[in-house]
Amino acid sequence: MMVEEVRAHLTDCIIPFWKKMRDPVNGGYYGYMDHDLNVDRQAVKGCILNSRITWFFANASMALQDASLLDEARHGYEFMKRYCLDDVCGGVYWSVACDGAPEDTTKHTYNQAFAIYALSSYYDASRDEEALRTAFALFHLIEERCTDEIGYREAFDREFHEIENDKLSENGVIAHKTMNTLLHVFEAYTELYRVSGDADVKKRLEWILDTIADKVYNPGLHRQEVFFDREMHSILDLHSYGHDIETAWLLRRGTDILGEKRYEEKMLPIILDLTGQVYKTAFDGHSLANECEKGVKDEKRIWWVQAETVVGFLNGYMLAPEHTEYRDAARAEWEFIKAHVIDGRQGSEWFWLVDRDGHPAPEKPIVEPWKCPYHNGRMCLEVIKRARFC
């Protein structure tokens, strides 16, 4: 029942909605729709937004064998290639204007990673060798220009001089390094390795797994730390529930693709610990809270956190089938999403956030540079893959 509902939601709601966000004049996808469903065709286009939409359509085209979705992915790819990539200084801009002119020329490691993610999937769907070459160029750029002896530096100006990392810092701190960026570099490299089998990418995947296990994961608190100084010391008491449940299943996907038994064995206890702790501390039987800072829980229900909850708990049940409560939690979360997070208005998609009781926040848009089909569309694709565990 759940799988059929999720598939129908993907094909009848998410895919048609994002097809309609396509900009037929300037390329790419429109960057903003307000809560009242008004599309701003002059809005800035986030390069992360367009990378994630390209990734989504490439993967949906493969999962559903739908040529129209590959055409959407190609549309996104052409926009990325023409406007988001900096031909002079290298790398991907943070954002461009509605017509593709550079708007925010910040180069962020997080943004480079999502371009690799999109380009790798687009290559898999299209077999366009240029996309794969571009993904590898960005891989080498990250490794050569965005690293130090400890990990990944994050924020740079157009010429790759390091600047303040305000775009990936929150909660009143400015972090030099973040769990979030490390996680999504891992995610991007996992996809690049999946489609290429490249030995250098594999080596970096193993290094990231070691870093997550040894420096990011906090076994005493059963969580990941979130914000770090240059030397990877945590600088804030924060438990990001959504990132931990997302990390749990992305780590498993990564170790499966890596195919190294020692890393499967090293990461499995961490995956299960993160899943169990999120279930115990953040899940109320229906939906997942956002985060907990210095002991104070944020009860907002944010769209992407709810989507990752479904996949993360299904992943936990697959790895530990005796924990049927994880399967039940995934089902309950889907019921909450259906009832409260999916916006039933014609021409809409998911609310950005709702409160614990499911009331939406009218000040939040339906589309903006971070809000796209990456989380909820991916949730649908991952549920379909896990059909027999639902």
Is 183 inside a domain boundary?
yes
Question: What average pLDDT values come out for the chain (390 residues) when binned by 10 residues?
Answer: 96 98 98 98 98 98 98 98 98 98 98 98 98 98 96 98 95 96 98 98 98 98 98 98 98 98 98 98 98 98 98 98 98 98 97 97 97 97 95
Is 261 inside a domain boundary?
yes
Is 46 inside a domain boundary?
yes
Q: How many domains does the chain have?
A: 1
For the chain, the three-class secondary structure string (H helix, E strand, C coil) is CHHHHHHHHHHHHHHHHHHHCECCCCCCECCCECCCCCECCCCCEEHHHHHHHHHHHHHHHHHHCCHHHHHHHHHHHHHHHHHHECCCCCCECCEECCCCCEEECCEEHHHHHHHHHHHHHHHHHHCCHHHHHHHHHHHHHHHHHCECCCCECCEECCCCCECCCCCCCCCCCCCCEEHHHHHHHHHHHHHHHHHHCCHHHHHHHHHHHHHHHHHHEECCCCEECCEECCCCCECCCEEEHHHHHHHHHHHHHHHHHHCCHHHHHHHHHHHHHHHHHHHHHHECCCCECCEEECCEEECCEEHHHHHHHHHHHHHHHHHCCCCHHHHHHHHHHHHHHHHHHECCCCCCCECCEECCCCCECCCCCCEECCECHHHHHHHHHHHHHCHHHC
pLDDT of 23 reads: 98
Which CATH number do you get for residue 152?
1.50.10.10
Is 390 inside a domain boundary?
no
pLDDT of 309 reads: 98
Domain assignment of residue 201, given as a range: 2-385
pLDDT of 1 reads: 86
Is 115 inside a domain boundary?
yes
